[in-house]
Amino acid sequence: MTESKKNILAFSFEELEAWLLDLGWKKYRAKQLLSWLYQRRAADFEEMTDLSKADRALLAEKASLRHLEIVTRRKSIDGTEKFLLGLEDGNRIESVLIPDDNRLTLCISSQAGCTLDCGFCLTAREKLKRNLKADEIVGQILTVQRTLPEESRITNIVMMGMGEPLANLTQVVEALKRMISPIGLGFSPRRVTVSTAGMVPQILKLWEEVPVNLSISLNATTNEVRDQIMPKVNRLYPIEELLKVCKAFPLPSRRRITFEYVLLAGVNDTPEDAARLVRLSHGIRCKINLIPFNEFLGSPYRRPADQDVLRFQDILHHAGLTATVRKSKGRDILAACGQLNSEVGAASLPLVQPVRRTQTPTSALPC
Ligand code: SAH
């Protein structure tokens, strides 16, 4: 039975090399195999046509090559596609493929469910089932990539799907290494973004290991409001501590931190909030990404009117900040930011309100 055999994708690159040496292979041949696994989209040892028949048979005898199971695949009217993926223990996660101009971004998950309890996020309703392993994180890319036409490539990765990546630091770091390694998926670190709700000690640790883009979900300008909408994380790491680490962050020149700010009508979208956001971000090389709240059935919050979003953005612009409004893609299939949930995601839930079109300038990161 293949299931009892080790999945070759679960090996780190070093482990794979050692395993192949044990099988009597020369060291350099690990690269040949890695290229099939990570760059040439092989889903079976039989597809590895530059390996001898005997080598392919040996690999198949000793290990298996298993991608994630695509349970459902739903396409939005705007071209965004949501994949519900099955893990081997029966848990399910979601990944979202977002085509935009000349980019093809995949938004991936880091946990089944989520450690945190942010009140505006549908994933939080699911609670934490478990952390994903590195191969399950990277597996989302491999699985989705294989569904694309040969000439089509995923260009950007955002870790903004289900879960809090920095609550699963070890596996996330290993997965990021496989993503940016030239012998792995080969993404430039500038095309990979990790989004965190603000787990302060882990932020520096992440950056020491892999210098990818960092997005921080600030979402409020006072601890009072942040405690209310992001209780777990803000009680551990209140705004001052989060901003302190952002100020101390060893950002290379020309790189900026992104602050994400979910706009919730009447909660954190006032001109006073915008003015406070200007003050809080002072001294930090950053840009602000405003995300008008994406509604879901039973959510306690509302999406602000377009003119309120614009007013908020204007205040930031007048203070000289770069502030974009994120396009909400895939809202009709619950694929936008904060709408991922492996339980309700599978069903066709209606939106609370019809999708409104935003006319405001938008950001590079559709979600
Ligand atoms: N846990 C990580 C990554 C997942 S959430 C984090 O908190 O950053 C990814 C982004 O979506 C975050 O900026 C989050 O604040 C935002 N988000 C969550 N729910 C949302 C919703 N319903 N509408 C709009 N944005 C939402």
pLDDT at 27: 86
Q: Ligand 1 centroid to 184 CA: how many Å?
A: 28
Element of type H or E holding 89:
none
d(CA 17, CA 14): 5
The predicted structure's pLDDT at residue 337: 81
pLDDT recorded at residue 343: 80
In testing the pocket of ligand 1, which one of 262, 294, 358, 363 has its CB within 8 Å of the most ligand atoms? Answer: 262
- Which pLDDT belongs to residue 252? 86
CB atoms within 10 A of CB 231: 14
Count Cβ atoms within 10 A of the Cβ of residue 194 and give its class: 0-12 exposed, 13-18 middle, 19 or more buried: buried
Q: Which of residues 10 and 327 earns the better pLDDT score? A: 10
Encoded amino acid at 176, one letter: L
CATH of domain 69-364: 3.20.20.70
208 carries an active-site annotation: no
Nearest CA among 240, 325, 316, 310 for reference residue 278: 316
Q: What is the pLDDT of residue 4?
A: 73
What the block records as the tokens of 223 is: 């601890």
Atom of ligand 1 nearest to the CA of 296: 22
- Confidence band for 249, pLDDT divided at 50, 70 and 90: confident
> Residue 340: pLDDT band by 50, 70, 90 thresholds?
confident
Distance from the alpha carbon of residue 160 to the mean position of ligand 1, in angstroms: 7
User: Where do we find the tokens 């960092």?
Assistant: 214
Region 258-285: mean pLDDT is 98
Domain spans of the chain, in order of start: 6-64, 69-364
CB of 41 within 8 A of CB of 9? no
Which CATH code for domain 6-64?
A: 1.10.150.530
Instruction: List, as residue ranges, the binding site.
Output: 114, 118, 121, 163-164, 195, 217-219, 294
Q: Is-catalytic flag, 107?
A: no
Q: Report CA(232)–ligand 1 centroid distance (Å).
A: 14
Residue set of the binding site for [4Fe-4S] cluster: 114, 118, 121
Q: What is the pLDDT of residues 123-180, one digit of tens each?
A: 999 999 999 999 999 999 999 999 999 889 999 999 999 999 999 999 999 999 999 9
Report pLDDT digits (tens) over 79-132.
999 999 999 999 999 999 999 989 999 999 999 999 999 999 999 999 999 999
Confidence label for 354 from pLDDT (cuts 50, 70 and 90)? very low
Per-residue pLDDT, 344: 72
pLDDT at 42 over 60: yes
Whose tokens are 């590895």? That residue is 48
Q: Name the burial class of residue 344, with classes exposed (0-12), middle (13-18) and buried (19+) by CB atoms within 10 angstroms of its CB.
A: middle
Q: Is 263 in the pocket of ligand 1 (CB under 6 A)?
A: no
Same fold, 6-64 and 69-364: no
So what's the pLDDT on residue 331?
83
Residues 158 and 215: their CA atoms lie apart, in Å, by: 10
Q: Is the CB of 365 under 6 A from ligand 1?
A: no
Q: Give the pLDDT band of residue 349 (cuts 50, 70, 90).
A: very low
What would you measure as the largest C-alpha separation in the chain, in angstroms? 70
Q: 28 pLDDT band (50/70/90 cuts)?
A: confident
Tell me which residue has its CA closest to atom 9 in ligand 1: 160
Supply the pLDDT for residue 345.
55
Q: In terms of residues, how long is the chain?
A: 367
| Residues 164, 110: Cα–Cα separation, whole Å | 7
Find residue 103's DSSP bridge partners: 100
d(CA 116, CA 130): 12
Instruction: Please give the full DSSP string across 104-165, using - where no structure is assigned.
Output: EEEE--SEES-S---TT-TGGGG---EEPPHHHHHHHHHHHHHTS-TT----EEEE-SSS-G
Reply yes or no on whether the pLDDT at 199 is more than 70.
yes
pLDDT value at 348 more than 50: no
Please tell me the distance between residue 295's alpha carbon and the centre of ligand 1 in angstroms: 12
Which strands sit side by side in the sheet containing 81-86, from one edge to the other? 69-75, 81-86, 92-100, 103-107, 156-159, 192-196, 213-217, 257-263, 286-292, 323-325
Backbone angles phi, psi at 64, to 5 degrees: -130, 170
Total Cβ atoms within 10 A of residue 291: 27
* pLDDT at residue 92, rounded to an integer: 97
Structure tokens at 95: 């990944």
CA distances from 90 to 71, 84, 335 (A): 11, 12, 21
Q: Is the pLDDT of residue 253 over 70?
A: yes
Structure confidence at residue 3 (pLDDT): 53
Q: Which of the four pLDDT bands, split at 50, 70 and 90, describes residue 216?
A: very high
pLDDT at position 334: 84
Instruction: Give the per-residue pLDDT at 212.
Output: 95
Residue 113: partners with Cβ closer than 8 Å, 6 or more residues away: 123, 126, 127, 128, 129, 130, 162, 163, 342
Q: What average pLDDT does the chain have?
A: 91
Q: Residue 300 pLDDT > 70, yes or no?
A: yes
pTM beyond 0.85: the answer is: yes
